Amino acid sequence: MYGTSLATAVIMVSGMAVSGTAAASQGSWLTVGEAAFAQLKLGGHKVTIRANQLAAGGAENLYLIEVRTRDLPSIAATLHRKLKHCGGFMFHASEAQARVALAGGALRAVPLSTRPSYVLANQALVTPILAQMDEQQIAATIIRLSGFVNRYYSSAHGAQAADWISTTWAALAAGHGNMAVTQFDHAGYAQRSVIATITGSDKASEVIVLGAHLDSISLSAERAQAPAPGADDDASGVAVLTEVLRVLVQADYRPRRTIKLIAYAAEEVGLRGSQDIAREFKRNKVDVVGVLQLDMTNFKGSSKDIYLISDYTDGEQNRFLEKLIAAYLPTVNIGSDRCGYACSDHAAWSALGYATSMPFESTLAQDNPSIHSKNDTYANSGAQAAHALKFARMAAAYAVELGTDSP
Ligand code: IPO
Ligand code: ZN
């Protein structure tokens, strides 16, 4: 359940606490979890608390804070550096949007339609598609995407990388009447998200989303020009989506539900791209019945293969993924871990009440040490894509089983 809102208070950088009076608006709003909030209290930034809520299930306190817009880059760097897994914050362009995100699923405007059956009923479709999936295709996409100087959300490189994905996906989908590739514009920066839509037939109004983020970041000072190959984080996720698209096209797969493959812009700076898209889908009352996030799929840092993140995700869909992996990928070992508030784009969807899952490459403690630096290269992921191939096969099975469902 949710707690009551805190009275407004101001935490000053130098440790002086000025309680009770609201600071003048500082221009940007973040929602953060406990870990990020604790870091911000220690760090060097002026923070105004506007509200707090208990996260669904009471896992932790979430805070709505205002910060100075000019402090955002250093706040992001501090949180990425201290918390490692993506900072644990969501950026909001207004306090109203921040309050909707903070309130989470309680404000769901779009009730989930009847949930998918979660029955594995499409082996005849899935098995031949999985056999077509190719490690070298995934590797080639990772290498190409990590060839951009960086894919930073506000750099020219970052905009060009997004355009490359759009062109590549459009070439794959060309000639398939039920497929279209579009780019999604975001306010305030040039990098666009890319959406490949495979329109369904008799259940076309129900939508399945598979996502990854196309941007990258290096925590060095000059981010727009700093090398940030982002091979694992998250070229590996985009490469998985690209391979899923390739094999679904090759199989001329015709889903009943609509499938959307989404390469999100600006994940590293507060889940901005995915929030814009999730908010638009909710505004348009799109009946999204399942969301899968693929963020870091190719660095095998732990003993097991796929770790299902258990917080800010949907338990029923996670159980379905376990069943699907056991059936289609019997040699893949499954683990579980938590990654905290706003650790990747699935959180933008779960904050609006949608059912999400986030299969991850390792445990949090053993995740890729090279991320968010010039060292996140294909070579430092072992110069292989066999690990990502497991995620690609899982994603393709997820897309077809939910895309067709049971008769
Ligand atoms: C990340 C995600 C989950 C876990 I567990 C550990 C690390 C990385 C993610 N937060 C990120 O930086 N995405 O860009
Ligand atoms: Zn990252």
* pTM for this prediction: 0.92
Task: State the catalytic residue, choosing from 206, 232, 243, 267.
Answer: 267
Q: Of the candidates 104, 132, 163, which is a domain's last residue?
A: 104
Task: Identify whether 111 is part of a domain.
Answer: no
134 and 100 in one domain? no
Give me the tens of pLDDT residue by residue for the chain, a chain 407 residues long. Answer: 333 344 445 444 333 333 334 444 468 999 999 889 988 888 778 999 999 988 876 778 899 999 999 888 888 888 888 886 656 899 998 999 899 888 874 444 345 566 899 999 999 999 999 999 999 999 999 999 999 999 999 999 999 999 999 999 999 999 898 999 999 999 999 999 999 999 999 999 999 999 999 999 998 878 899 999 999 999 999 999 999 999 999 999 999 999 999 999 999 999 999 999 999 999 999 999 999 999 999 999 999 999 999 999 999 999 999 999 999 999 999 999 999 899 999 999 999 889 999 999 999 999 999 999 999 999 999 999 999 999 999 999 999 999 999 87
The pLDDT of residue 344? 96
Same domain, 361 and 392: yes
Distance (Å) from CA 269 to ligand 2 centroid = 9
Q: Is residue 254 part of a domain?
A: yes
Specify if 321 maps to a domain. Answer: yes
- Candidate of 233, 304, 368 to mutate for ligand 1, largest count of ligand atoms within 8 Å of Cβ: 233
Is 233 a known active-site residue?
A: yes
Range of the domain at 44: 4-104
392 lines ligand 1 (CB under 6 A): no
Tell how far the Cα of 169 is from the centroid of ligand 2, in angstroms.
23
CB 263 within 8 A of CB 344: no
> CB of 297 closer than 6 A to ligand 1?
no
Contact 129/253 with Cβ under 8 angstroms? yes
Task: For residues 28 and 135, state if they share a domain.
Answer: no
Q: Is 361 in the pocket of ligand 1 (CB under 6 A)?
A: no
**Quick check: 377 and 231 in contact, CB under 8 A?**
yes
Q: Is residue 55 domain-shared with residue 203, that is, in the same domain?
A: no
295 is catalytic: yes
- Does any domain span residue 115? no
Same-domain status, 100 and 129: no
Our count of domains for the chain comes to 2
Nearest CA to ligand 1 atom 11: 86
CATH of the domain at 22: 3.30.70
Euclidean distance between CA atoms 9 and 369, whole angstroms: 36
**Assigned domain for 114 exists:** no
Report the amino acid identity of residue 129: I
Specify the pLDDT at position 14.
35
Q: Are residues 99 and 154 in the same domain?
A: no
Q: Is 213 among the catalytic positions?
A: yes
pLDDT score of 101: 86
Q: What is the pLDDT of residue 86?
A: 56
Q: Which residues are placed with Cβ below 5 angstroms of ligand 2, an ion?
A: 86, 233
> Are 160 and 266 part of one and the same domain?
yes
Q: Does residue 94 sit in the same domain as residue 139?
A: no
Answer yes or no: is the C-beta of 339 below 6 A from any ligand 1 atom.
Answer: yes
Q: Is residue 117 part of a domain?
A: no
In one letter, which amino acid is 379? A
In a domain, 348, yes or no: yes
372 is catalytic: yes
* CA-CA-CA-CA torsion sign (260, 239, 131, 245): positive
CA distance 350 to 366: 25
Domain boundary among 44, 70, 104: 104
Probe ligand 1: pick from 213, 272, 343, max atoms within 8 Å of CB? 343
227 plus 327 within the same structural domain = yes
Q: Which helix (H) or strand (E) holds 235?
A: none
What residue owns the CA closest to ligand 1's atom 8?
85
Q: Is 85 in the pocket of ligand 1 (CB under 6 A)?
A: yes
Which domain CATH number covers 339? 3.40.630.10
| Ligand 1 touching residue 376 (CB < 6 A) | no
Can you give the C-alpha Rg of the chain in angstroms? 20
First to last CA, the chain: 37
Backbone angles phi, psi at 64, to 5 degrees: -105, 120
Residue 191 lies in a domain: yes
Token pair recorded at residue 27: 């221009």
